[in-house]
Structure 1
């Protein structure tokens, strides 16, 4: 099952929309390019398994 969630680019600060696979577990991390500036962001995704609320933190890719 998938849902969408918004995160803000660590480089340009613009909002981005991403798909989150809810069946992949409560904590996930992966790299995704910003849809505005194309810089790579490391996304740290946390899914509350009861409410299915999604929280995303971002940082620069080193």
Structure 2
């Protein structure tokens, strides 16, 4: 059985709006990818870390 995706409420680093980010709980221990904000359309850098059952997601600005 595949574990359910982990949904987290985070704040867009550009517009400050609360956004829902979904991360798969299964995968490499650390990954980074770019995704656009559904509110302001600016590009986030999404950092996902997995350790055991814990999934931590952090949003950064692409221009940092």
TM range (shorter): 0.7 to 0.9
Choose from 41, 45, 50 the match for 1:42: 45
1:1-59 Cα deviation digits (max 9, x unpaired): 3221222111111111122111112212111111211111001112231xx23322222
Q: Equivalent residue of 1:23, what SS? A: coil
- Structure 2 CA distance, aligned partners of 1:57 and 1:27? 11
User: What TM-score do you get using the length of structure 1 for normalisation?
Assistant: 0.74
CA RMSD of aligned residues (A): 1.6
**Structure number, greater radius of gyration:** 2
User: What TM-score do you get using the length of structure 2 for normalisation?
Assistant: 0.73
Higher helix share: 1
For these two proteins, the number of residue pairs brought into alignment is 60
